[in-house]
Chain A
Amino acid sequence: MPTSSSATQFIWLVPLLPFLGFLANGLLSLVPAWRGERADVTPAGRRALVGAVGVGVMLVAFGLSVMLTLAVSGKDTTLTSSLGTWMAAGPFSVEWLLRVDRLSALMMLVITGVGTLIHIYSIGYMADDAGFARYFAYLNLFVGFMLMLVMGGNLPVLFIGWEGVGLASYLLIGFWFGETANAVAGKKAFVVNRIGDFGLLIAMFVLFANLGTLDFAQIATLHANLGAPPATLICLFIFLGCAGKSAQLPLYVWLPDAMAGPTPVSALIHAATMVTAGIYLIVRNAALFASSPIACLVIVLVGALTAVWAGAVALKQWDIKKVLAYSTVSQLGYMFMAVGAGAYTAGMFHLVTHAFFKALLFLGAGAVIHAMHHALHAAHQDDDPQDLRNMGGLMARMPVTGALMWIATLAITGIPPFAGFFSKDAILSSVAERAMESPLAEASVGGIPGRLILWFAYGIGLVTAFITAIYMTRLMRYAFHGSFRGGEDAAGHVHDSPWVLRAPLVVLGVLTIVGGWLQLPAALPIGRAGLLDSWLAPLTGAATAELAGTGHLPHSTEYLLIGIAVAVAVAGIAMAFVQLKPATLVRKVDSPADTGIGLVLANDYYVDTAIARGIVGPTVAASRKVFWRGLDLGLINGVLVQGSAQLFGVVSSVASRVQVGFAGSYVWAIVLGAVVVFGAFIVTGAQ
């Protein structure tokens, strides 16, 4: 095991490596011959170099992350490395400080581990793309900023990463910017995220005004000096930032549109890592949040509502990626439910397992889309390769992908022994436990008792689990079973993907199966219980105890809760098998439109329409009429710029009449002037 002091010197190298990869590939992508504007495919040799750089830096970063994780696994659980002062103004001073502790180490492992797999996968997935080098540059850039985010030792350094991942996300959503819809989706993600970032900035200002520090370690020790109102205010503003980044109500609208990016991007950024930054930020400030039960209950409520809200939309989506996108929003709601209820371990646990199985689902969906795209292309059909109605019967043609996606599906629905079962159970049990007996249950927000909110969240959690089971089973049955609906010609061209695509899936499949052993419930005697609990205890133990009280559930109650959760999941799968009729499905172009509640869900409750009419429309109209025509064209351009020019024109045209060019009249003026001057001398009697 490396000693802490020798490990410390590698801390800055971890985020630096992906940035170097970004620079290298970014410069390559600027070389005209490599940019591939006309060439459709980047030549294999160049692809190998770009891919080696992109994956290479990730592998080294992963190795360093493992080493740093080992370094903080002992008695000394925190390493910091500072590059000196970033900015200092009076009492305000911010250091370039990176911090590796057990929480950031966990996040680093997920980011670099899952990130490496997705980089490898991308080599195969993006092979046909002209912007190969640009893609890897952006992907490395994202990882670099994401590592800054989780390793930042104070809020401003975290904020660099926070904004940086937003930028990388924007660049990658709009990666195929040739189509307007993709560019618009990137813009939407950026703008919606700005609303959340604004909240995070306000939180920083209030925090500094009250505590005089933005350093995480100091916040954790000084937060007791905050009164209850500022603490709640800070927590709610931080949560606004989290809601933007992690796609919670009402700021979730950007995530489904973010699916416009390449599928590996959706897997890495919009499922496994970036969108979990909000969860991370709350766990990072667990001590602060634990001091504000009101903020905690609000988070529980928003998380629960988001979970069921987005889950229901996923029931009616036909685009395979949209199903997974709404599913991600829903699962993020679960995580917020957990961290809101003070079950920080459960939230982080679900974050990790979700990263495994959701990345697996997205990469599997990517393999399906890849195969469908090639098959439809080969058959000269322009059907949508992402639409479930055009798929069907893929299991026989893509057995490896299908089997792995079934594993991930069982995991996300919460079937034992897959990872999702343990993490979902951890969340539901801890919410139920806190609803029964905890300081949080005694608190209240706006007159609503905390106990009610927690039971409500638990109930919603079960409903969401049921919905999750239905829509995931629906996706699997429509895509992989029944008969192929993409047409006779295309059917022969559907093949399982090459190994560069399948290998990362297999690794994620293994992680999805064994990931649950990170944090086993004490009630199940199949291994050491609560590994993650004891891993995170130095950071979140006190905060967890503050909100959860001291009581422990008896094993019989835990068995009951586990039983309920599994029963709900099984019921959902069963219902999907009984109710859904894949045989009646026809291709997208021949499909009837949804009606009634289905139509509302398929259109995401018309939230986008409402925003377009209620916010975007009036804003654009006001900008056009008031700010553009009125202020810019009218006042600034018309009155100030052209008006002043016209004023001088009029005055000078009057003045120039005086200059008639006839010397006689000038003499008149001189003489009259002389007469007036002398007259004035005489009248006033001046000398």
Chain B
Amino acid sequence: MIREALVVSAILFSIGVLGVLTRRNALILFMCVELMLNAVNLSFIALSRLHGVSGQVFVLFVMTVAAAEAAIGLAIVISVFRHYRTVDLGRIRLLRG
């Protein structure tokens, strides 16, 4: 069972990474990040079978932090949209050296 759960977790994580790498829309990127977080949560739950409940406790923390992060992240995305009239990350290149 653990092997299958870990494989699903790895696939989910890879989809998230690919999404972050290939998409430029900030909202989709955001969802991809959530996907990666939940892939990690899945592997925590699966591995708690071997290592005790601390993995499950960690998942609760991750979900809490993810909620906070989603709130702040969405707020940033909104203010970026107000400023640039777009959420396309390809257009926001202020950090260019």
Q: Taking beta carbons and an 8 Å cutoff, which residues of A are in contact with B? A: 656-664, 667-668, 671
Contacts and interface: CB of A to CB of B under 8 A. Distances in A.
B89 to A, nearest CB: 5
Contacts of A660: 93, 96-97
- Residue of A656, A660, A661, A663 contacting most chain B CB atoms (<10 Å): A663
B97 A664 contact: no
A289 B20 CA distance: 97
A664 B21 contact: yes
Contacts of A662: 89-90, 93, 96
Contacts of B50: none
Contacts of B94: 661
Interface in B69-97: 89-90, 92-97
Nearest to A656: B97
28 contacts: A656-B97, A657-B97, A658-B97, A659-B95, A659-B96, A659-B97, A660-B93, A660-B96, A660-B97, A661-B93, A661-B94, A661-B96, A661-B97, A662-B90, A662-B93, A662-B96, A663-B89, A663-B92, A663-B95, A664-B21, A664-B24, A664-B89, A664-B90, A667-B20, A667-B21, A668-B21, A671-B20, A671-B21
Contacts of A667: 20-21
B17 interface: yes
Contacts of B21: 664, 667-668, 671
B20 A661 contact: no
- Residue of B20, B89, B95, B97 contacting most chain A CB atoms (<10 Å): B97
Nearest to B91: A662
A463 B33 CA distance: 112
B29 to A, nearest CB: 9
A324 B21 CA distance: 98
Given A659-B97, A671-B17, 8 more contacts: A659-B95, A659-B96, A660-B96, A661-B93, A661-B94, A661-B97, A662-B89, A664-B90
B12 to A, nearest CB: 16
Given A667-B21, A668-B21, A671-B17, A661 B95 contact: yes
Contacts of A661: 93-97
Contacts of A663: 89, 92, 95
A658 B95 CA distance: 11
Interface of B: 17, 20-21, 24, 89-90, 92-97
B21 to A, nearest CB: 6
A664 to B, nearest CB: 6
Nearest to A652: B97
B77 to A, nearest CB: 13
Contacts, number: 31
B59 to A, nearest CB: 22
B16 to A, nearest CB: 11
- Mostly, the B contact residues are loop
A664 B95 CA distance: 12
Nearest to B97: A659
Contacts of A658: 97
Question: What are the 7 A-B residue pairs with the smallest beta carbon separation, nearest first?
Answer: A661-B96, A659-B97, A661-B93, A656-B97, A661-B95, A662-B93, A663-B89
Nearest to A655: B97
A661 to B, nearest CB: 3
A432 to B, nearest CB: 93
- Residue of A662, A668, A671 contacting most chain B CB atoms (<10 Å): A662
A678 to B, nearest CB: 12
Nearest to B94: A661
A658 B96 CA distance: 9
Contacts of A659: 95-97
A140 B95 CA distance: 73
A596 to B, nearest CB: 81
B35 to A, nearest CB: 14
Contacts of B17: 671
A542 B59 CA distance: 111
A672 to B, nearest CB: 10
A293 to B, nearest CB: 82
A538 to B, nearest CB: 87
A262 to B, nearest CB: 70
A671 B19 CA distance: 12
A657 B96 CA distance: 9
Nearest to A658: B97
Contacts of A668: 21
A638 to B, nearest CB: 29
B93 to A, nearest CB: 4
Contacts of A664: 21, 24, 89-90
Contacts of A656: 97
A457 B97 CA distance: 85
Nearest to B23: A664
A239 to B, nearest CB: 71
B76 to A, nearest CB: 12
Nearest to B95: A661
A51 B96 CA distance: 77
B33 to A, nearest CB: 10
A661 B90 CA distance: 9
A661 B17 CA distance: 20
A667 B93 CA distance: 14
A655 B29 CA distance: 28
Contacts of A657: 97
- Residue of A657, A664, A668 contacting most chain B CB atoms (<10 Å): A664
Nearest to A662: B93
Nearest to B92: A663
A230 B24 CA distance: 91
Contacts of B95: 659, 661, 663
Contacts of B90: 662, 664
B83 to A, nearest CB: 16
B84 to A, nearest CB: 14
B73 to A, nearest CB: 13
A656 B97 CA distance: 6
Contacts of B93: 660-662
Contacts of B89: 662-664
Nearest to A660: B96
A217 to B, nearest CB: 77
A668 B96 CA distance: 16
A667 B89 CA distance: 12
Contacts of B20: 667, 671
Contacts of B24: 664
A167 B15 CA distance: 88
A657 B97 CA distance: 7
A671 B36 CA distance: 13
Contacts of A671: 17, 20-21
A278 to B, nearest CB: 72
A659 B94 CA distance: 11
A142 B92 CA distance: 79
A663 B96 CA distance: 10
A660 B96 CA distance: 4
A228 B12 CA distance: 101
A661 B94 CA distance: 6
A667 B18 CA distance: 10
Nearest to B24: A664
